[in-house]
Amino acid sequence: MKQYILFILSLLCVTSCTEEDMRWGDVIGLSTHEVTLNGAGEPVTVTTKGKSWWITTIEIDGKIIYHLTDSSENWNMPQTGKFNQKCDWLNVKADDWTLNISADTNYEESRTFKICLSAGDYFDYINGTQEELMTGGGFDDVIGLSTREVTLNRAGDEVKVETKGKTWWITVIKVDGETSFINNYYNCTKEDSKMNETGYFSKKCGWLNIRMENWTLYISADENQGEERTFEINLEAGPYFDRITGKQEKR
């Protein structure tokens, strides 16, 4: 095992990969070299034909944020096919050498990333961008939130947020800056995936409780015994996106 790790480390002189590095037979077999994430950061899957490859570096907006030497947990990726790393706003996961790439919601300008991979003498890469979240931006507000800011008292008493529109759905819920719920094929139940049709949803995310009945949101929380805590609820209706930001008062 020690020799194996030293072999991997010997390859880490490559800090960034280019087309010139792809000079050997393609033993990775990426399904795509270009990935575009939407503003909500919903996951995109990239499959590979080969196995026993690993991720060497991850760049965010032109800067190397992750290097294999930064995480001993990922050293055994060539054997397990598993990887899990959050790099600033980008989330990169792998299971059985299939990549799942997602991101935090982007309220600013378009941003970029690059994931470099290696398999022995062969190097490859994925170039990616995340689009800006279109909150309004020329699209009609078809959700019609009664408020975009919610403050819960220390006891966590329920607050109601009404909407004028229907057929919208919740895409992401964040609690204290961490993503607790993503509405996609991999992470939600069959009932959750139909909330845009039924208008009903119920989820407990840590200390936060979110209930949706007939496209009206009811937000409450467990009693807060500590410091102020925060949450964010992202919503979508076709090309229109919106969000609710909230906090719970401290003890």
C-alpha 126/C-alpha 110 separation (Å) is 17
CA gap 224, 198 in Å, rounded: 32
User: Residue 20's pLDDT is what?
Assistant: 45
pLDDT tens-digit map of 138-178: 567 899 999 999 999 999 999 999 999 999 999 999 999 88
Q: CATH 2.60.40.10 region(s) of the chain?
A: 2-130, 149-248
For the domain spanning 2-130, the CATH number is 2.60.40.10
Note the CATH number of domain 149-248: 2.60.40.10
Handedness of CA 28, 32, 36, 40 (dihedral sign): negative
- pLDDT, tens only, 102-147: 998 887 788 999 999 999 889 999 999 998 876 554 567 899 999 9
**Alpha helix (H) ranges present in the chain?**
2-10, 77-80, 195-198
Q: What is the pLDDT of residue 19?
A: 46
| Dihedral sign computed on CA atoms, order 210, 213, 218, 220 | negative
The pTM (predicted TM-score) of the whole model is 0.55
DSSP state of 74: G
Q: Which two tokens stand for residue 137?
A: 């931006």
Q: How far is CA 128 from CA 102, 116, 205, 243, in A?
A: 11, 11, 30, 24
SS3 32: coil
Q: How many helices (H) and strands (E) does the chain have?
A: 3, 18
The pLDDT tens digits for 67-106 are: 987 767 788 899 999 999 999 999 999 999 999 999 988 8
